[in-house]
Amino acid sequence: MIIGEHRPSKLVIDREAIRHNIREEVQRLPKDCELFMVVKANGYGHGAVQVAAAAKEAGAKGFCVAILDEALELRAAGFDEPILVLGVVEPEYAPLMAREKVSTTVAAEDWLAEADHYLKLSQPKEPLRVHLGLDTGMGRIGFQTPAALQHAVAFLAEHDTVFTFEGMFTHFSTADEASADYFHKQVERWDAFMAAVPDKPRYVHVTNSATSLWHADHNINIVRYGAAGYGLNPSGNTLKPPFELQPAMSLVSELAHCKQLAAGESVSYGATYTTTKAEWVGTVSLGYADGYERRLQGFHVLVDGQPCEIIGRICMDQFMIRLPHQYPRGTKVTLVGRNGGAEITLQEMAEYCGTINYEIACGFTARVPRRYTH
């Protein structure tokens, strides 16, 4: 997708906020526990390579991604830290991962048998680093019983020229919720898995942002730190973080057009909004093709420190707002972030859209340029 360089709409990413959110967490970790910054989905929309660099400066010792291509992007950018792919990669890419020293998640023993075939065919110099995923109740990927885990561990031991048993982990599905009942059920299953493997691999890990913020006693030797690193509260507004999370992402633009409409004039597709008196209307060059969701009709942006309602439907590339009076073209418009004394957070946008802050952050498309401060 073409990047809109010649348009005033841009995402501004504050690297210092990311460093702050990571430093605060690193300070809380036990001595032998490392923070791996999760930079999947282009760093939750913030830009994976830039985030990885800021994270490294703040003390991150490795990275997690969702898909192999995201790991290769980091390697191509020169990062030589450990990188773990959290999703299942097709076994035919096992030799590529081995060569690139990318650690992979394994969720089933037949995967190992297939990967073994490909690794023996292409004989990479390095063994493939394997983290065994354990399903303790997320129901997504992973071994389901301690017996299945023991089998996989035995397979790795028998094939130690092509595999390195580097890690085992699980993922909690409710660590961001007020009730800890389901969380404890998952912990119990995790304990049974642990008891089945006396010789632990180098990395044993269970914590995402929510778990490390609110169940810190479960940190083992990696924290897979995502949302909180970007200043996003993983619980929305439900739980209060133990330190201040600073949002790293703002979205700004400028008025592309400003005009007065007489009473009884309508705005945008479907003519869903009609003025009741003479009104000043501004146009902003951003739309749902940029990830500025159509569902945001009726929400607001900030101009001159004041909330201005989004009127009429959001178009693919533009939308309209009601202004208190005339403003010149080029006046700053803040869609996310601070403007004057006011602020719009990704969380507020998410609530308006009936979703979570994560989805809004990673939903901004490649057309919106990312600019970095600090």
Q: Which residues bind ligand PLP (CB under 6 A)?
A: 38, 40, 86, 171, 208-210, 224-227, 234
Asked about 269 being catalytic, the answer comes back as yes
Query: Taking CB positions, which residue lies at the least distance from ligand PLP?
Result: 226
Q: Which is nearer to ligand PLP, 230 or 273 (CB)?
A: 230
Asked about 40 being catalytic, the answer comes back as yes
Q: Which of 120, 185, 200, 269 is catalytic?
A: 269
Instruction: Check: CB of residue 260 under 8 Å from CB of residue 197.
Output: no
| Side chain identity at residue 21, one-letter code | N
CB 257, min distance to ligand PLP, A: 38
Q: Which is nearer to ligand PLP, 10 or 171 (CB)?
A: 171
Residues 6+ apart with CB under 8 A from 229: 18, 21, 22, 25, 37, 38, 51, 55, 209
CB 235, min distance to ligand PLP, A: 10
Helices (H), 180-306: 181-195, 209-214
CA angle, 259 as apex, 257 and 263 as ends, to 5°? 145
Q: Give the helix/strand (H/E) hosting 359.
A: helix 357-363
28 is annotated as contributing to ligand binding: no
Q: Which of 10, 31, 40, 230 is catalytic?
A: 40
Phi and psi at 310, nearest 5°, equal -80, 115
The CB density around residue 39, as the number of other CB atoms within 10 Å, is 30
Q: Which is nearer to ligand PLP, 65 or 252 (CB)?
A: 65
CB 134, min distance to ligand PLP, A: 11
Q: Which is nearer to ligand PLP, 40 or 218 (CB)?
A: 40
CB 34, min distance to ligand PLP, A: 14
316 is annotated as contributing to ligand binding: yes
Calpha distance 21→58 (Å, rounded):
9
| Side chain identity at residue 91, one-letter code | P
Phi and psi at 351, nearest 5°, equal -60, -40
Which positions make up the binding site? Answer: 140, 316
Which positions make up the binding site for substrate? Answer: 140, 316
The residues carrying an active-site annotation are: 40, 269
